[in-house]
């Protein structure tokens, strides 16, 4: 599998995502499949192909992908450039200094984005799942794209080949005594390489991987936590009976 070299301006968009979404649309619930190895593996592939061109994941090493069932050989053959090593961290292909010159800011690191973007609308995974699925064509924007979850976003739809091109369908509603136009849905302009259901599933896999990447030990933590609670519950029974035995003759 070869990395897909996408447009460099795909770097922007996440830096103020949480703030933009606070006053935007309701977030869709992201599928939580961080124990599904097939989903995580597909998400890792999508992340390397579509996100790692401009964004880094500087707190994640490639060899950690073995935790989700990807072998070292598969990592070397499919997920690395020839100059990368399997023990290195996931660095963006773009030069940070050039990115700052071109865009005015360095594209943010995505290692913890699934946790940092949580808000009153839901989890960070919910925000990412909504954000990546609500791009639409808008020729008035510099990139030719806009986003419902993050209006006037500077990032284009890097997944447009998979999703196809869509345009918004508007309706008028009354708000504070004035009629305003809001987006009520989308109309497909050109089809993508995936059906809408397949695209939603692919985005779900990508978000699942980003959620796992933000805390790779979370499933182990939960599993160990369950056993700890079971042990403490059992120990409580013994302590209760032992306490009763010690004090049975005390009036």
Taking residues 47-55, what's their average pLDDT?
A: 90
Q: How far apart are CA 8 and CA 98, in angstroms?
A: 10
Quick one: which H or E segment has residue 124? helix 124-131
Taking residues 154-177, what's their average pLDDT?
A: 87
Flag whether 23 is in a domain.
yes
Flag whether 146 is in a domain.
yes
- How many residues are given for the chain? 251
* Residue 107: per-residue pLDDT: 78
Q: How far apart are CA 251 and CA 247, in angstroms?
A: 8
Helix, strand and coil in the chain, % to nearest 5: 45, 15, 40
Indicate whether 101 and 202 sit together in one domain: yes
Flag whether 208 is in a domain.
yes
Write the DSSP assignment of 172-230 as a string of letters.
EEEETTEEEEEEEEEEEEEE-SS-HHHHHHHHHHHHHHHHHHH-TTHHHHHHHHHHHHH
Indicate whether 106 and 139 sit together in one domain: yes
Whether pLDDT at 85 is above 60: yes
Instruction: Give the range of the structural domain holding residue 250, as residue numbers without chain letter.
Output: 222-251
Indicate whether 251 and 192 sit together in one domain: no
Residue 195 has, within 13 A of its CA and on its CB side, a CA count of: 2
Q: How far apart are CA 217 and CA 105, in angstroms?
A: 31
Flag whether 194 is in a domain.
yes
Indicate whether 65 and 177 sit together in one domain: yes
Q: How far apart are CA 251 and CA 206, in angstroms?
A: 65
| Three-state SS at 63 | helix
Flag whether 2 is in a domain.
no
* Residue 82: per-residue pLDDT: 63
**Based on the structure, what is the number of domains in the chain?**
2
Indicate whether 184 and 238 sit together in one domain: no
Indicate whether 169 and 154 sit together in one domain: yes
pLDDT band at 22 (very low <50, low <70, confident <90, very high): very low
Flag whether 3 is in a domain.
no
Task: Give phi and psi for 174, each to the nearest 5.
Answer: -95, 130
Whether pLDDT at 152 is above 90: no
Identify the CATH number of the domain in which residue 73 sits: 1.10.760.10
Flag whether 235 is in a domain.
yes
Indicate whether 102 and 174 sit together in one domain: yes
Whether pLDDT at 12 is above 60: no
Flag whether 122 is in a domain.
yes
pLDDT band at 172 (very low <50, low <70, confident <90, very high): confident
| Three-state SS at 27 | coil
Indicate whether 149 and 191 sit together in one domain: yes
Higher pLDDT pick, 153 / 9: 153
Indicate whether 121 and 16 sit together in one domain: yes
Task: Give phi and psi for 182, each to the nearest 5.
Answer: -130, 155
pTM to 2 decimal places:
0.79
Whether pLDDT at 40 is above 90: yes
Taking residues 207-221, what's their average pLDDT?
A: 92
Q: How far apart are CA 9 and CA 156, in angstroms?
A: 7
């Amino acid at each position: 599998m070869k990395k897909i070299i996408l447009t460099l301006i795909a770097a922007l968009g996440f830096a103020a995502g949480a703030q933009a979404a606070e006053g935007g649309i309701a977030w869709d619930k992201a599928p939580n499949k961080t124990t599904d190895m097939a989903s995580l593996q597909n998400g890792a592939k999508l992340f390397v192909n579509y996100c790692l061109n401009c964004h880094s994941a500087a707190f994640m090493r490639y060899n950690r992908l073995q935790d989700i069932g990807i072998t070292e050989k598969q990592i070397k053959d499919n997920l690395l450039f020839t100059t990368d090593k399997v023990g290195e961290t996931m660095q963006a292909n773009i030069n940070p200094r050039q990115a700052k010159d071109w865009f005015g800011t360095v594209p943010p690191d995505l290692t913890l984005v699934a946790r940092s973007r949580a808000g009153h609308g839901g989890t960070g995974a919910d925000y990412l799942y909504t954000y990546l699925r609500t791009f639409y064509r808008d020729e008035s924007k510099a990139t030719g794209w806009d986003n419902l979850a993050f209006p006037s976003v500077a990032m284009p739809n890097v997944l447009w080949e998979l999703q196809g091109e869509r345009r918004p369908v508007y309706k008028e509603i009354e708000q504070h005594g004035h009629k305003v136009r809001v987006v009520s849905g989308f109309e497909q302009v050109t089809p993508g390489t995936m059906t809408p259901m397949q695209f939603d599933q692919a985005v779900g896999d990508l978000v699942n991987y980003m959620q796992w990447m933000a805390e790779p030990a979370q499933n182990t933590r939960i599993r160990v936590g369950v056993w700890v609670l079971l042990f403490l519950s059992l120990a409580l029974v013994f302590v209760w009976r032992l306490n009763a035995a010690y004090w049975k003759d005390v009036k």
